[in-house]
Amino acid sequence: MASSEVARQLQNDNCRPLSLSGHVGFDSLPDQLVNKSINQGFCFNILCIGETGIGKSTLIDTLFNTSFDDRVSTHFQPNVRLRAQTYELQESNVRLKLTIVNTVGFGDQINKEDSYQPIVDYIDAQFEAYLQEELKIKRSLYNYHDTRIHVCLYFISPTGHSLKTLDLLTMKNLDSKVNIIPVIAKADTISKTELQKFKIKLMSELVSNGVQIYQFPTDDETISKINATMNGHLPFAVVGSMEEMKVGNKMVKARQYPWGIVQVENENHCDFVKLREMLICTNMEDLREQTHARHYELYRRCKLEEMGFRDTGPENKPVSLQETYEAKRHEFFGELQRKEEEMRQMFVQRVKEKEAILKEAERELQAKFEHLKRLHQEERMKLEEKRKLLEDDMIAFNKRKAATELLQAQAFASTPSVSLKKDKDRKKDPGFRLELLCFDVRDHEIVSVQEQSEREKLERDRISHREFQK
Amino acid sequence: MEGQPVQPAPEETPRDANPANVGLELFGYVGIEAVLDQMRIKTMKTGFEFNLMVVGQSGLGKSTMVNTLFKSKVSRKPTGPSYEERIPKTVQLQSVTHVIEEKGVKMKLTVTDTPGFGDQINNENCWDPIIKYINEQYEKYLREEILISRKRKIPDTRVHSCVYFVPPTGHWLRPLDLEFMRRLSKIVNVVPVIAKADTLTLEERAEFKKRIQKDLKAHGISVYPQEDFDDNSDDRILNNKIRDKIPFAVVGADKEHQVNGKRVLGRKTKWGIIEVENPAHCEFPLLRDLLIRSHLQDLKDITHNVHYESYRVQRLNESNRLALSPINGLLGKDEVESDL
């Protein structure tokens, strides 16, 4: 019913400029933005790569004019590890969340083939964490603690000759992932002339090996000149020190030698001030932007392409991410179902097998039971017969007894000698009778006399065994 | 000692390496605050974008208001008496883009007008084209954002603020106003203003405002500045002051007249000249300050962080719980299995 027509009269670049006839007031926009950022705080993450003892921690302390962590690491680390620490600094109204990542054990191993791998993995892990957060459905990017490395300070040993192979290898692997600023550490061990030659050699080596180090941006007029000159001074030769010494009438940070004092903040002595200028005062924002806009985007693109997502389909038609997800999802779903079927089949089979076994066992048991029952019955029948016989015997005996009693009564008057015999007989008879009684009582157990005697024998044996054991 | 297996693992604990972020004192000047200047320079170089939408019935002075705000002929509506304005049969949206510059700060301003809104006899669903337009802009931005190789600076056409013109009846908000504001305050920052406020006396104005505020609260409509997004107590105090005065009673004028020897923008009537920029006459300066001088960045931030994010969440959830994360999509075994 109601249709909407958006009539966009002017497209992006052909916007008509308009002149204002008075003061509108949006020139306060940059200030508004800055105020918001102040409220939110800033994040800056520095990665320091260098051999143990080259002065990474001292330099960072000097750069930020504070003492961070005092832990000195040993030279006997089996692998390169990274140690990250976060600090909150505040200067006037600016809050900075500074994370310093140090490499522990870099260059100490005998076999340094894999030294750079943990570093690359760490940087990738930070990008990955950010990517994950960005791709979540419910995300909160604006108060996400950004841990992506914004700048990497690479400390070069002041040999005076050239780059070490390890340095070259590491920098080559990192230059597409992070902004690298190479610095010559412990620069107070090189003389001025040597330093010049060293710098030239280093830069030419880097260029010839295709290592892309961070160039200070020269597109903005306000800082292009100073940045251009600084670009010519790379790599910076730095000296770090937190100890203060009295020089002239001021207290300055310096290192004292028997032959003189090396002042950290003296531009003639070392490039520390230049480094601090460039890193913090002039280009911090640019470093962050480059990390986000260039390195992170590259990582994201590579990662997503790896996963198989494309912007344009095989016929060069733009494929929305949506369709690719659908396809992938169907594929995955199908695979899942197949696996499930498989598992189900296996389960069913196992159950069948188990059932068969159980049935077998049941049948066996049943057969056994039947067999035992039959045996039982036979025994019972036998015993019944025996019992009948015995009863018959009993009746016969009773008859005989009655007869003999009669005879006895008749013969009582005649001879007593017969009574002895009768006594004997009588003695026997109660014994026999007793046995019969006993048999009766135990009749319901259906245990034959033979078995009973055997049992008694066993019992006796057992007792004697036990006594023997004792 | 012998035979002790050493298990190396890179210590990757960026966030909670130290259980508490150590706050350190700086011994001397470092130069961190120079980052503010760097930021300022950078933003001045890239310039700003601002997209404004004005909604209201025809004849309420929307175009004049925009011209007054930006002190230039942003919307070219001829105001001569011979002009016949045709009320369109349906709600249309017309956008005009200009680049304006002041003291080195460049701004790309886009003003979207909505002729035909609320002008029909049956105004049901007249807000639909507007909602559709706003969501289209969000969609455009979302598409750009999820591209694999995306632009460095995604062009931002999302509506940052919608100024809603309330006719000066002096009574209450009409059902159309309530419906519109209710729906739109969920997806965009709505700034209601009382148009043509020179028809109300100061007392009538105050009454009207109170009633409007009560109405808005009763219906749960949260207009800009929203209470939920106050960052800290300073912001809250400032915003509370603004909230007391919402909606601003404004008068627009783009002609200049002579008053006491000065040239001022105003409306000349038989009974006097209404000075637009005089805070005693109308609240136009307050509106201008809110929109441009003090809260412009805030409007953009809330649009980006709140409204755009909620659109994104809704959109991504719509596609069958298809997580936008390729990682989640492929490893979403747990997710998928739990549904089965």
pLDDT at A416 (0 to 100): 56
CB pairs under 8 A between A and B: 319
Question: Of the candidates B65, B189, B75, B175, which has an alpha carbon nearest to the alpha carbon of residue B118?
Answer: B175
Looking at residues B246-273, what average pLDDT do you find?
83
Interior angle at CA B139, CA B137 and CA B140, nearest 5: 65
What residues of chain A, 198 to 227, have a C-beta less than 8 Å from chain B?
Answer: 220, 222-223
Beta-carbon separation of A310 and B148 below 8 A: yes
Write the DSSP symbol of residue A268: T
Interior angle at CA B231, CA B230 and CA B237, nearest 5: 55
A27, A33, A304 ranked by CB distance to B103: nearest: A27
pLDDT per residue as tens digits for the range A120-173: 999 999 999 998 888 887 888 877 888 899 999 999 988 888 888 888 888 998
Question: Of the candidates A286, A409, A134, which has an alpha carbon nearest to the alpha carbon of residue B326?
Answer: A134
Chain A residues whose beta carbon lies within 8 Å of the beta carbon of residue B108: 15
A20, A77, A220 ranked by CB distance to B71: nearest: A20
pLDDT at A447 (0 to 100): 56
B73, B97, B317 ranked by CB distance to A15: nearest: B97
Query: Is residue A430 classed as helix, strand or coil in its secondary structure?
Result: helix
Chain B residues whose beta carbon lies within 8 Å of the beta carbon of residue A333: 336
B22, B36, B99 ranked by CB distance to A18: nearest: B99
B21, B43, B305 ranked by CB distance to A86: nearest: B21
Report the residue of A3, A9, A32, A121 to disrupt the B interface, i.e. the one with the largest count of B CBs within 10 Å: A32
User: Which helix (H) or strand (E) covers residue A6, if one does?
Assistant: strand A6-8
What residues of chain A, 91 to 130, have a C-beta less than 8 Å from chain B?
Answer: 91-94, 96-97, 99, 101, 104, 118, 121-122, 125-126
Q: CA–CA distance from A213 to each of A122, A152, A180, A274 (Å)? A: 19, 10, 5, 17
pLDDT at B5 (0 to 100): 39
Q: CA–CA distance from B106 to each of A380, B41, B75, B160, B309 (Å)? A: 116, 12, 19, 17, 27
Interior angle at CA B91, CA B87 and CA B94, nearest 5: 90
pLDDT at A146 (0 to 100): 86
Residue of A nearest to B74 (CA): A18
Beta-carbon separation of A311 and B148 below 8 A: yes
CA of A258, closest CA in chain B: separation in Å?
28
Chain A residues whose beta carbon lies within 8 Å of the beta carbon of residue B95: 6-9
Phi, psi for residue B99 in degrees, rounded to 5? -110, 120
Hey, which bits of A27-105 come out as E strands?
42-49, 81-91, 94-104
Chain A residues whose beta carbon lies within 8 Å of the beta carbon of residue B147: 311, 321
A11, A104, A276 ranked by CB distance to B31: nearest: A276
Query: Is residue A419 classed as helix, strand or coil in its secondary structure?
Result: helix
Residues of chain A under the 50 pLDDT cut:
1-13, 313-319, 418-419, 431, 434-437, 439-440, 443
A7 in contact with B, Cβ within 8 Å = yes
What residues of chain A, 51 to 90, have a C-beta less than 8 Å from chain B?
Answer: 63-68, 77-90
Number of neighbours of residue A449 by Cβ within 10 angstroms: 12
Distance (Å, whole) CA B226 – CA B312: 20
**Contact between residue A237 and residue A195 where contact means Cβ atoms under 8 Å apart:** yes
Residue of A nearest to B118 (CA): A2
**Contact between residue A69 and residue A85 where contact means Cβ atoms under 8 Å apart:** yes
Scanning the structure block, which residue is given the tokens 């349906």? B90
List helix spans (H) across A147-259: 165-174, 192-208, 221-233
Distance (Å, whole) CA A124 – CA A47: 13
3-state secondary structure labels for all residues of chain B: CCCCCCCCCCCCCCCCCCCCCEEECCCCCCCCCHHHHHHHHHHHHHCEEEEEEEECCCCCCHHHHHHHHHCCCCCCCCCCCCCCCCCCCCCCEEEEEEEEEECCEEEEEEEEECCCCCCCCCCCCCCHHHHHHHHHHHHHHHHHHCCCCCCCCCCCCCCCEEEEEECCCCCCCCHHHHHHHHHHCCCCCEEEEECCHHHCCHHHHHHHHHHHHHHHHHCCCCCCCCHHHCCCHHHHHHHHHHHHHCCEECCCCCCEEEECCEEEEEEEECCEEEECCCCCCCCHHHHHHHHHHHCHHHHHHHHHHHHHHHHHHHHHHHCCCCCCCHHHHHHCHHHHHHHC
Radius of gyration of chain B (CA): 25
pLDDT per residue as tens digits for the range B42-77: 888 888 889 999 998 888 888 888 888 888 777 666
Distance (Å, whole) CA A427 – CA A424: 5
Sign of CA dihedral A148, A151, A153, A154: positive
**Contact between residue A115 and residue A174 where contact means Cβ atoms under 8 Å apart:** no
A3 in contact with B, Cβ within 8 Å = yes
Beta-carbon separation of B293 and A30 below 8 A: no
Sign of CA dihedral B288, B292, B298, B299: positive
Name beta bridge partners: B265.
Answer: B256
Radius of gyration of chain A (CA): 52
Scanning the structure block, which residue is given the tokens 């995300």? A139
Question: Of the candidates B201, B17, B266, which has an alpha carbon nearest to the alpha carbon of residue A147?
Answer: B17
Chain B residues whose beta carbon lies within 8 Å of the beta carbon of residue A285: 35, 38-39, 42
CA of B206, closest CA in chain A: separation in Å?
27
Beta-carbon separation of A301 and B39 below 8 A: no
Distance (Å, whole) CA A254 – CA A246: 9
Whether omega for the bond prior to residue B247 falls within 30 degrees of 0, making it cis, is: yes
Q: Exposed, middle or buried by CB within 10 Å (0-12, 13-18, 19+), for B258? A: exposed
Res. B297 pLDDT band, cuts 50 70 90: confident
A97, A281, A309 ranked by CB distance to B148: nearest: A309
What residues of chain A, 255 to 294, have a C-beta less than 8 Å from chain B?
Answer: 276-277, 280-286, 289, 293
A397 in contact with B, Cβ within 8 Å = no
Phi, psi for residue A254 in degrees, rounded to 5? -160, 165
Q: pTM higher than 0.95 for the full model?
A: no
Query: Which residue type sits at B76?
Result: R
Hey, which bits of A275-373 come out as E strands?
none
Q: CA–CA distance from A65 to each of A50, A140, A232, A262 (Å)? A: 21, 33, 26, 17
Beta-carbon separation of A81 and B97 below 8 A: no
Q: Who's near A294: CB < 8 A, 6+ residues apart?
A: none
Distance (Å, whole) CA A181 – CA A280: 13
Chain A residues whose beta carbon lies within 8 Å of the beta carbon of residue B324: 135-137, 321, 325
Range of A97-111, A385-399, B152-166, B318-332 with top mean pLDDT: A385-399
CA of A313, closest CA in chain B: separation in Å?
13
Q: Exposed, middle or buried by CB within 10 Å (0-12, 13-18, 19+), for A172? A: middle
Whether pLDDT at B332 is above 50: no
**Contact between residue A166 and residue A155 where contact means Cβ atoms under 8 Å apart:** no
Write the DSSP symbol of residue A269: T
Beta-carbon separation of A88 and B301 below 8 A: no
A65, A136, A301 ranked by CB distance to B30: nearest: A65
Looking at residues B190-200, what average pLDDT do you find?
89
Query: Is residue A5 classed as helix, strand or coil in its secondary structure?
Result: coil
Report the residue of A1, A3, A4, A320 to disrupt the B interface, i.e. the one with the largest count of B CBs within 10 Å: A4
Sign of CA dihedral B176, B182, B188, B192: positive
CA of A240, closest CA in chain B: separation in Å?
15
Residue of A nearest to B103 (CA): A27
The HSE-up count of residue B92 (CA atoms within 13 Å, CB side) is 12
Beta-carbon separation of A34 and B31 below 8 A: no
More confident residue, B137 or A90: B137
Written as six digits, the tokens of B259 are 């008053």
**Contact between residue A150 and residue A96 where contact means Cβ atoms under 8 Å apart:** no
3-state secondary structure labels for all residues of A343-364: HHHHHHHHHHHHHHHHHHHHHH
**Contact between residue B12 and residue A125 where contact means Cβ atoms under 8 Å apart:** yes
User: Which helix (H) or strand (E) covers residue A251, if one does?
Assistant: strand A250-257
**Contact between residue B170 and residue B204 where contact means Cβ atoms under 8 Å apart:** yes
Longest Cα–Cα distance in chain A: 172
Whether pLDDT at B338 is above 70: no
Residue of A nearest to B157 (CA): A12
**Contact between residue B310 and residue A291 where contact means Cβ atoms under 8 Å apart:** no
Beta-carbon separation of A3 and B129 below 8 A: yes
Q: Which of B8-17, B109-118, B172-181 has the lowest mean pLDDT?
A: B8-17
End-to-end CA distance of chain A: 109
Residue of B nearest to A146 (CA): B15
Residue % of chain B over a pLDDT of 70: 81
Q: CA–CA distance from A110 to each of A106, A113, A170, B57, B178 (Å)? A: 11, 9, 16, 80, 76
Written as six digits, the tokens of B103 are 């003291």
Whether omega for the bond prior to residue B19 falls within 30 degrees of 0, making it cis, is: no
